[in-house]
Structure 1
Amino acid sequence: MVDPSARAARTPGGTDTPSGYENTLRPLALAFGRRRGDARRFGGKATSLGRLVREGLPVPRGWVLPADHFDALAETTLPRGHDLPTLIKLAGSRTGIDRAARARDRIQAAPLAAPLQAAIEALWADVGESAPWGLAVRSSATCEDGEETSFAGLATTLLGVRGPEGLAAAIKQVWASAFLPRAIDYLAHHGVRDVAMAVLVQVMARAEAAGVLFTAPPPGLAGEHWGENERLVNVTLGLGAPVVEGAMPTDSVRFAKAGGVVATVVAEKRRALVVGPRGMEEVAIPEDRTRLPALSHEAIGQLGELASRLEQGGTGPFDVEFAVERTPEGKDQVLLLQVRPIGGGGFPEGGDAQTVWSRANVGEALPGAATPLTWSIARSFSEKGFREAFAALGCRVPRGAHLVTNVHGRFYLNLTAFMQIAAQVPLLSPRALLQASGGAGEAAIALLERQTEDVSKRGFLARLPVVAPRVLASQARLERDVASYEVEAERARRSLAEMDLGLLPDDALATTLRTASALLDRTGTLMLSCASASLASHLALARLLDRVAARRSSARDDEDAALAMDPLMPRSLSTGTSLAHALVGGVRELESAGPGVALARIAVRAREEPEARECLLAGKVRALNDLPDGPTRRELESFLDTFGDRAVREAELSTPRWREDPTAVLAMLVAALRAPDSDPDRALARARALADREMAQLETRIGPAVLYAVRALVTRTQRFTRLRERMRMWVTRVLGMLRTIALDVDRRLRRIDPTLPTGAVFFCTYDELILALRSGRAEIGHVARLRRAEHLRDAQRPDPPPTFIGRPPPVQLPPAFGRRLVGLPASSGVVEGRARVLAPGTSGLDAVCAGEILVTRTTDVGLSPLFLVAAAVVTELGGPLSHAAIVAREYGVPAVVNVPGATVAIRTGDRVRVDGDRGTIEIFGDDVRSKDT
């Protein structure tokens, strides 16, 4: 991939010869921290690398711009009260956010001092020709890469910087990143009162491969996945940024400190990040290299030697970013780009070292980092809804409890707080709840059980005589409440559609936004009431079935007994829970199943219309207008009228709805057209037939009284599930209304500040928008720019684990899997086929072929139309009662959810067997002959 004759310019040991710019941009070898004050002048990262250079370790040629220049620019550019010490005192306040945004804008707009500009020009003139991949510009704050504070992922790094103008802009961008809200909050949380920002500039290594080496497990992470005396490497081809940011598939290598590879996971790597003529770009990997290891044995050996040298003196463990460069002799040379102690960040808001956090279920609706507007609305919506739902059940919610939090822009539930509140209800244990919802491993469940074992139930029991009749009455009228709500919500929806928002004054638009937000709160509260009723009925049904399960017989009893002894088998789902899933299948009239059924019927219509069919299959249709006028086009128009508020990742307000951009709909329609002719009603009938068959078997094994109770609970669960999914659809519609209003606010913001990009509104919070509109001065462009920069930083960070305890671990553990993966059974059935691994987003949806196994990080309802094309579904996130799992059961499609590492272990084209009854996936090698199931 890299021309071995063109190497990154670096002098032996990383030292530099004297040049005219050396008094301004100090050679890295001099940033050693020998003199008092050097640590503040050069920052943690540069000081660390300077020490490595002095010790003779391989580091790319580099320079450090001392923090004095940052201090001087801040002093001459920023108004009083906008300096970092003041902003740290104001962390989290509205005034602090406003001032930080203005300070950031001023830093980026200010010209550099003439001597610094001259030094930058001299540096580029000296090294430009010998730096074919340009320069890397990184922060080196005083609190960075230290034992107590790491500042990791909070400041900006720019790669492939070229030319004096580019270098000057990059330096200011690094300085400006110190003013991002999460960086200031981090400093305040760790008691840092001031910070100085030096800047590190290095020649880019032309990386054949790059990644991160962890010299040993951090405290608490050693275990079966990573031994105490092992090192771990995550690596990919090309630059290492995708490894650090979690953006691309990476190889994982564990090797012993004493030498010898312990385990290797080789990912399918189809793209690599490199520096091209126009800057950073992704390039295709030749087909014969996609499944080859990124690291050679030679490079692994060098990494082991370097790790041993770093740990001399008993220090460590370390987090080491590295690149592998090809020498002119064709050998691999490892270069150290960054070395810092492995340490954790602060605890998420509202938690401590024993708090269990999870996004395993909510991540289905909102994967990845949420924009500030989405997060601010979702947080209010969720906190209010959960509190009202608990209160309705007679549970007391402690004052000040944080039920949800933001971790690197991701939405997490505080399971500790949830379970301690829910445990007030007798028989409602963490294990029972997590059996239904999924999302926690055995260690987390055990901790939650310890945390809830002393929760008193006396208060709940004392309130029970009053609460129970009220809850039963509330559930009895849920259907009427939903119907009444729908009349009101439809009226509000039509009123907004008929309104010309552009004619409203700002304060009237603020009122419209508040009204829509209040409607969302009401929608969410009613949806959670339906969800609580559905969950309660499901848990009661599962508990009853557990009691009678021993009396059921099956042709697979012996096999089940053998599997029960298998330590790899999941133990989170009881027999009663699995049987309950089957019995309540075939709900019918399920709103979440509607888009898939409707699209399948449009595919049937398109097959009967040759001209439309040929246009779709030829890839000529990008919009509805590209289709010939006829039944297919009219039915698609009707589809968008009905389901146009839906989308993939539809909980994110910045996501265009299907009505705005039907690309995903058209792609899924093409996939349906390529599948054999199929009747969607037949798929729905399969789920009903399975439920009927399970019920018929029960009838022969249990008495009439128990059978009556089972039938009643099945009917009750189905009814509340239908209501839950109807309200879920209305949540999506109201989010569409909020998006419509937000887009009009966006137009006003851009009229005031034409430099703002389209969509700037999504990088303001709900309160900021209301305040700006009420004041008659929607001048918050500086805040939008600030929050957008922070969101981009969050989006580039790797996803924290779906569930963690205390704080997100600084290291992503390697997945542990072999030929068999284990998750949670979500939809019954056993099927074998070729895998199709879907990347995040909407690309490649039209490539899905009939009979393939869909494997994805998460499947929201926006992808559910593909379920009718696929033979089975496997996801890394989600739970057995998630919306997508319910849709899979409604379609009769086998599904397994919560499968760690599924998208890494399984590759497109692999032959796999999915067992939706037991929650297992078998991966067949080329030497394994498949058998029809």
Structure 2
Amino acid sequence: MKDAATVPLVLAMDAEMALLEHVGGKGASLARLVKAGLPVPPGFHVTTEAYRCFVSENGLQEEILAAVATINSEQPATLEESAKRIGHLFMQGTMPKSIERAICQAYAELGGSQLAVAVRSSATAEDLPEQSFAGQQESYLNIRGEAAVVEAVKRCWASLWTARALGYRAHHAIAPEDVALAVVVQQLVNAEAAGIMFTANPLTGSREQVVINAAWGLGEAIVGGQVTPDTFIFEKASRAISEQQINDKRVMTVQTTTGTREEPVPGERRTQTALTPEQALELAQLGMRIEALYAQPTDVEWALHDGCFYIVQARPITTLHAHEARFEEWNDSLSGDYLWTNGNVGEAVPDVMTPCTWSLIKIFIADTMEPLHLTEHKPVGNIGGHFYLNLSITASLAALAGMNQKQFARISEGIFGRIPEGLEVPGLPLSRWRLLKALVPVAIRLKKRVRLNQKRLPAFIAAAPARCEELQAKIRNVVSSQELLALWRDEITPFFRECCHMLEAGARRDGNALALIRRDLGKLVDEEEANALFSGLSVGQNHLASLGLLLGLAQLERGEIDRETFARTYGHRGPHEFEVSLPRPAEDPTWIESQLAGLREAPLDVNALLARQKVVQAAAWERLRQRYPRKAAALRRRVDRAAAAAHDREAARSEIIRVFWVLRTFVLRVGELTGKGEDLFFLSIEEILALLGGDEVALATVPTRRATYERYSALPPLPALIRGHFDPFKWAADPRRRSDAFDERGQTVPASQTITGFPGAAGIVEGRARVVVSPEEGDQLQPGEILVTTQTNVGWTPLFPRAAAVVTDVGAPLSHAAIVARELGIPAVVGCGNATMRLHSGDWLRVDGGKGTVEVL
């Protein structure tokens, strides 16, 4: 752990170290909002280290404790006497030059010598569960000039020891030695209107409503109860204002040259609405974003200036009755009219995600998908607990290159799957200039970063397994929360982000080369021949990482490696490899045994399948050389380059999954040290780090989130494509639902009488269907049956040698099922849309992998 002296006296608003113990509850909350891209006035934190430095250099600690010791709970006057004594100590204390310089420098960088700021106390003990919005310390508004700011900071520190604060802490049994005070300094918003917003109705407890209070001027008149504000009630489901009450707002708080004052509202404005309906809607949507960030109802202080909203503070509401908080809503489809897809990403993350996993994936996505600063449009979403990509953003950027909808659909289908005819991709409501302004700087930075990391990729892939083992050992040996927090900050986070960038580099290396080669081969040979030319990439030791788990199990079965070697090399891969709440195969011996038993039942072993496909591939290349000698040589070079890129991409992905095992180890260790166990998987990683720092507020949400997780997990697999606002429970209850695509406009995508998809791997097979919902049901698949499922990932590959063919709802020519099936020479049709709903176990099928068709005979 780092020495406390290394904590800066002043921190930037969004600094990594802006945690509860350093910047207090208010400061940590603001830091979280800034990091999420929410509109927060600029400012800085004066840390608890500065407070302790002031107390130490002025020799105050012993005198403070002596004064507190004289308090008698049966004699209230002793509170006032102690408070007066301690307050005098602070005001007579000398501000250390190091603190004064740090504050003055940060204030100057904020905007100038006479910039108006708000100076607010931020305590480390006032924001504990059941103590929300205690407001025991002071805030000072419209402070101008360096000397005034420094003096206001000192007054905030002194307010930690007022009679009210002393009594409050005594009542809640908070020891005086445990408290310290940080201070938040922010540019003051000269608000035309301000108020408070509750993302749940505080009167009824309803989580389906947002309640907004609004009045003229600064928000202090509302907080202090001097004015009756306007009230707006916003319905989350319909996204409309259902009720508004415009009140007589007699007074308002305004700025003066020396601070603030209350003054009468001019007569004609007293009964005018402080917000237009459009502004109330905009503010309510901001509130929903904040609620999603905290994953629980929040109490938000806001201000309006020059048509723009600013968030001054946000904290979880802890006063709603627990029995009313039955479920949370995990549904980013409500954020706007977009086309969402879980094609490709749904293979990697097929499960309903716990809040912990989702928060880690968002970090991963933020680091691998360079932010476009389009904060009002989410690039990724959580719909019913499932991971989706916002295809509308991709389509809007493609339109900049001149692509129309049909061209975009044709290009994207190789990665995300087919977009059915009639299902439009709504674009972003942004001008071409706005998109260009967002894209160009990012593209330049991204190109430079990817080029650099592609050079480093081979060394990273070689070193990553040992580094992961080292980090896991360090995590298991940590004995204190603070030591674990330091390990996260100093070693785990940098390595996690490095892994994210390496996967980005691997994914962008000849990313569309295979698709282009397939297109060119299609001009020369049929689909079956093209599949043969594309197979055989995993022969010998240089196999694709996506086949590693299967090959490792085969080696283990033949006695070529022992259990320990298997666990270290392949044990991080499995059917739920991104979900940190679930054990890896290396942690679950029963899973390994069941897979070995399945391999023994397969008609051919893995090596035989690969060897057979190698012969097929060699013969196909010889035929191509005979027909097109010059083109064959050029195509072979292109295929070899693309194969090398595919190996790197799959290897980088394997290592990011290994890192997710490290992250799982970290969360489990936090659970051990705090005594909270596996409840922590229902917190975000930010909340887990806050817990390590002593902030337990989020623990109150665990029962609700667990119930929400179980509720979404009970639903059938959601559609691969979702257009507009989607209610997963209403959809699941509809017997006529489609599992491939949902369109809010009610335009049903026509269903063909023949099940069609993408040709995944060539070959024609007849056999009995076996519909398998999850890999845990894989033992139902009998040798020679046709595997029908929603989608597959690495965890499904041990089932492939038993299958006569593979049929999936979700997928594309470059998806996992298609790649592995080609390598093993197993016919496959992928991206069929709703095969699992139209086919039943026992149906006799003909699968034509070359044409991409499935028939019921």
In 2, are the aligned partners of 1:749 and 1:780 still within 8 Å (CA)?
A: no
Equivalent of residue 660 in structure 1, options 587, 593, 596: 587
- Give distance in 2, aligned partners of 1:829 and 1:870: 13
- Give distance in 1, aligned partners of 2:323 and 2:479: 48
Taking structure 1 as the reference length, the TM-score comes to 0.52
Q: How far off its partner does 1:142 sit? A: 13
In 2, are the aligned partners of 1:423 and 1:457 still within 8 Å (CA)?
A: no
Structure 2: gaps spanning 5 or more residues: 1-128, 135-193, 208-232, 243-290, 302-316, 739-749
Q: How far off its partner does 1:808 sit? A: 1.7
In 2, are the aligned partners of 1:436 and 1:879 still within 8 Å (CA)?
A: yes
Structure 1: gaps spanning 5 or more residues: 1-76, 101-140, 151-178, 201-244, 246-344, 389-395, 555-574, 606-630, 752-757, 925-933
Give 1:405-444 correspondences, 5 Å limit.
405-424=381-400, 429-443=407-421
| Counterpart for residue 828 of structure 1 | 762
| Counterpart for residue 584 of structure 1 | 534
In 1, are the aligned partners of 2:343 and 2:811 still within 8 Å (CA)?
A: yes
| Counterpart for residue 649 of structure 1 | 576
The secondary structure found in structure 1 opposite 2:378 is coil
Report the residue type matching 1:762 in the other structure: F
| Counterpart for residue 380 of structure 1 | 363
In 2, are the aligned partners of 1:416 and 1:451 still within 8 Å (CA)?
A: no
Task: Number of aligned residue pairs: give it.
Answer: 550
Structure-2 change in CA distance of 1:742 and 1:833 (3 Å): same
In 2, are the aligned partners of 1:366 and 1:652 still within 8 Å (CA)?
A: yes
In 1, are the aligned partners of 2:545 and 2:651 still within 8 Å (CA)?
A: yes
Equivalent of residue 339 in structure 2, options 346, 356, 371: 356
Q: How far off its partner does 1:652 sit? A: 0.6
Q: How far off its partner does 1:585 sit? A: 2.0
Report the residue type matching 1:431 in the other structure: A
In 1, are the aligned partners of 2:766 and 2:846 still within 8 Å (CA)?
A: yes
Structure-2 change in CA distance of 1:785 and 1:405 (3 Å): same
In 2, are the aligned partners of 1:424 and 1:460 still within 8 Å (CA)?
A: no
| Counterpart for residue 596 of structure 2 | 669
In 2, are the aligned partners of 1:431 and 1:449 still within 8 Å (CA)?
A: no
* Aligned CA-pair RMSD: 4.7
Report the residue type matching 1:834 in the other structure: R
Q: How far off its partner does 1:839 sit? A: 2.7
In 2, are the aligned partners of 1:827 and 1:885 still within 8 Å (CA)?
A: yes
In 2, are the aligned partners of 1:87 and 1:184 still within 8 Å (CA)?
A: no
Q: How far off its partner does 1:665 sit? A: 2.3
| Counterpart for residue 896 of structure 1 | 829
The secondary structure found in structure 1 opposite 2:587 is coil
Spell out, residue by residue over 1:183-210, the C-alpha distance to the aligned partner (whole angstroms, 9 max, x if none). Answer: 858999xxxx9x999999xxxxxxxxxx
Structure-2 change in CA distance of 1:720 and 1:471 (3 Å): farther
Q: 1:532 and 2:508 equivalent?
A: yes
Structure-2 change in CA distance of 1:661 and 1:519 (3 Å): same
- Give distance in 2, aligned partners of 1:639 and 1:423: 47
Q: How far off its partner does 1:600 sit? A: 3.0
Structure-2 change in CA distance of 1:423 and 1:691 (3 Å): farther
Q: How far off its partner does 1:357 sit? A: 0.6
| Counterpart for residue 229 of structure 1 | none
| Counterpart for residue 255 of structure 1 | none
- Give distance in 2, aligned partners of 1:582 and 1:839: 29
Greater Cα shift, 449-458 or 721-730? 449-458
- Give distance in 2, aligned partners of 1:802 and 1:452: 26
| Counterpart for residue 214 of structure 2 | none
| Counterpart for residue 837 of structure 1 | 771
Report the residue type matching 2:352 in the other structure: A
In 2, are the aligned partners of 1:837 and 1:908 still within 8 Å (CA)?
A: yes
Give 1:605-616 correspondences, 5 Å limit.
605=558
Report the residue type matching 2:710 in the other structure: L
Q: 1:862 and 2:795 equivalent?
A: yes
Report the residue type matching 1:381 in the other structure: F
The secondary structure found in structure 2 opposite 1:360 is coil
Report the residue type matching 2:197 in the other structure: K
Q: 1:769 and 2:695 equivalent?
A: no
Q: How far off its partner does 1:892 sit? A: 1.7
In 1, are the aligned partners of 2:465 and 2:655 still within 8 Å (CA)?
A: no
| Counterpart for residue 197 of structure 2 | 89
| Counterpart for residue 886 of structure 1 | 819
Report the residue type matching 1:873 in the other structure: V
Spell out, residue by residue over 1:742-792, the C-alpha distance to the aligned partner (whole angstroms, 9 max, x if none). Answer: 1111112326xxxxxx41111110111112213x45675323334323323
Spell out, residue by residue over 1:888-924, the C-alpha distance to the aligned partner (whole angstroms, 9 max, x if none). Answer: 2222222222222322322222221211112211122
Structure-2 change in CA distance of 1:767 and 1:346 (3 Å): closer
Report the residue type matching 1:761 in the other structure: L
Give 1:163-174 correspondences, 5 Å limit.
none
The secondary structure found in structure 2 opposite 1:831 is strand
Structure-2 change in CA distance of 1:87 and 1:920 (3 Å): farther
- Give distance in 1, aligned partners of 2:791 and 2:551: 21
Structure-2 change in CA distance of 1:453 and 1:855 (3 Å): farther
| Counterpart for residue 625 of structure 2 | 699
Give 1:67-216 correspondences, 5 Å limit.
89-91=197-199, 184=297
Give 1:173-322 correspondences, 5 Å limit.
184=297
The secondary structure found in structure 1 opposite 2:585 is coil
Spell out, residue by residue over 1:23-64, the C-alpha distance to the aligned partner (whole angstroms, 9 max, x if none). Answer: xxxxxxxxxxxxxxxxxxxxxxxxxxxxxxxxxxxxxxxxxx
Structure-2 change in CA distance of 1:368 and 1:473 (3 Å): closer
- Give distance in 2, aligned partners of 1:351 and 1:896: 34
- Give distance in 2, aligned partners of 1:346 and 1:674: 41
Report the residue type matching 2:416 in the other structure: G
Spell out, residue by residue over 1:433-464, the C-alpha distance to the aligned partner (whole angstroms, 9 max, x if none). Answer: 32311334234775369999979999999999
Identical positions, percent: 27
Give 1:459-538 correspondences, 5 Å limit.
478=454, 480-499=455-474, 501-514=476-489, 515-538=491-514
Q: How far off its partner does 1:793 sit? A: 3.2
Q: 1:716 and 2:641 equivalent?
A: yes
- Give distance in 1, aligned partners of 2:579 and 2:493: 15
Larger radius of gyration between Structure 1 and Structure 2: 2
Structure-2 change in CA distance of 1:184 and 1:777 (3 Å): closer
The secondary structure found in structure 2 opposite 1:912 is strand
- Give distance in 1, aligned partners of 2:443 and 2:657: 37
Q: 1:794 and 2:719 equivalent?
A: no
In 2, are the aligned partners of 1:914 and 1:920 still within 8 Å (CA)?
A: yes
Q: 1:848 and 2:781 equivalent?
A: yes
Q: 1:742 and 2:667 equivalent?
A: yes
- Give distance in 2, aligned partners of 1:762 and 1:346: 16
Spell out, residue by residue over 1:715-736, the C-alpha distance to the aligned partner (whole angstroms, 9 max, x if none). Answer: 1111110111111110111111
- Give distance in 2, aligned partners of 1:656 and 1:87: 47
- Give distance in 1, aligned partners of 2:794 and 2:195: 42
- Give distance in 2, aligned partners of 1:383 and 1:837: 36
Q: How far off its partner does 1:399 sit? A: 5.8
In 2, are the aligned partners of 1:839 and 1:856 still within 8 Å (CA)?
A: yes
Spell out, residue by residue over 1:277-325, the C-alpha distance to the aligned partner (whole angstroms, 9 max, x if none). Answer: xxxxxxxxxxxxxxxxxxxxxxxxxxxxxxxxxxxxxxxxxxxxxxxxx
Greater Cα shift, 721-730 or 679-688? 679-688
Equivalent of residue 729 in structure 1, options 654, 673, 676: 654
- Give distance in 1, aligned partners of 2:699 and 2:443: 55
Equivalent of residue 595 in structure 1, options 549, 569, 574: 549
Q: How far off its partner does 1:374 sit? A: 0.2
- Give distance in 1, aligned partners of 2:323 and 2:441: 62
Spell out, residue by residue over 1:464-518, the C-alpha distance to the aligned partner (whole angstroms, 9 max, x if none). Answer: 99899969965xx83x522221344234223224336354321221233343343
Structure-2 change in CA distance of 1:648 and 1:662 (3 Å): farther
- Give distance in 2, aligned partners of 1:466 and 1:383: 17
The secondary structure found in structure 1 opposite 2:388 is strand
- Give distance in 2, aligned partners of 1:733 and 1:636: 18
Spell out, residue by residue over 1:871-892, the C-alpha distance to the aligned partner (whole angstroms, 9 max, x if none). Answer: 1111222332223432222222
